Amino acid sequence: MTTFTDTVNLQGLFEDTKQMTGQTNMSIALFTRKANFALNDYSSIAMSVDGGVRFDSTNHADDPLEYAAIVAGQRKYLLETTMLQIDRVEVYYEDKWHVVDPLVMKDYKHMSLETVFSENGRPTHYDWDGNTMSLYPAPDATDTGDLTDTANLSLKVFNTRAAKQFTVTDTDVSIGIPSVHNEYISLKAAQKIMFGTNDPSVSNIDRELIKWEGQMVSGRMSGGKIRQYFTIRDENRPRRIKPKLNGVFSNLNFSK
């Protein structure tokens, strides 16, 4: 298993990046910073794929799920800032969970939300600005529990978050992403460390990263081993089969 650092067998990401860059005196602080930037890039690619299985780092100690206590008449709720995407929102009302739909602003462009949702009740829609969630309508009930008693909390948010960041004291910590992708972190960290240098090996690293990240096609990033992995790993997801029309049939003229 590849780890963050491995000073005994020299098989960690830190050691790999030092060998790749030739910077044998590289500090662990510099590498940690660049490796975390590389993890952010990796997370962005993985989260950009519209797959049925959500991306999450195995280094996170909890599930990508957050609870909050609803308060009667309170519309806004502060959520964990590490979440980058909201995948699903549910609210517990009348002894069962209900899905809360995202608010589509264009559907209310000529109406005041405060007027449309003026009466408190079971929230049916939510709006999220990246930090605060607003429920519409505001709840008409108050939870009896707190964050230590999630069984009595009524707002549940399923989310996607970036890979957990490394610290300079990490040693035998795993990378947290699929093991077949660990090399990407070394390559990306090396690219960032060598940015602006005249080292000719930079071009080799850039070419290797194209294999991982893909390249721009018609104005958008396409291809790459990371994107391909997260596209096909949900093998149980049903796929539509589109029939291919027979060439003779497709050329028939039905205008007569």
pLDDT one-digit tens code per residue, 113-155? 888 999 999 999 999 888 889 999 999 999 876 777 777 789 9
DSSP annotation of 7 reads: T
Q: What pLDDT is attached to residue 206?
A: 94
Phi, psi of 99 (to 5 degrees): -75, 135
Residue-wise pLDDT for 88-99, tens only, equals 999 999 889 999
Of the pLDDT bands very low, low, confident and very high (cuts 50, 70, 90), residue 161 is confident
User: Is the pLDDT reported for residue 250 higher than 50?
Assistant: no
Q: What pLDDT is attached to residue 50?
A: 61
Structural Rg of the chain based on CA atoms = 24
Place of tokens 């959520």: 79
Of the pLDDT bands very low, low, confident and very high (cuts 50, 70, 90), residue 254 is very low
Taking residues 2-6, report their average pLDDT.
Answer: 92
Q: What is the pTM of this model?
A: 0.76
- Cα 159 from Cα 128, distance rounded (Å): 12
Q: What pLDDT is attached to residue 52?
A: 66
Q: What pLDDT is attached to residue 101?
A: 95
Tell how strand 155-161 and strand 132-136 pair up.
Answer: unpaired
Q: What pLDDT is attached to residue 22?
A: 93
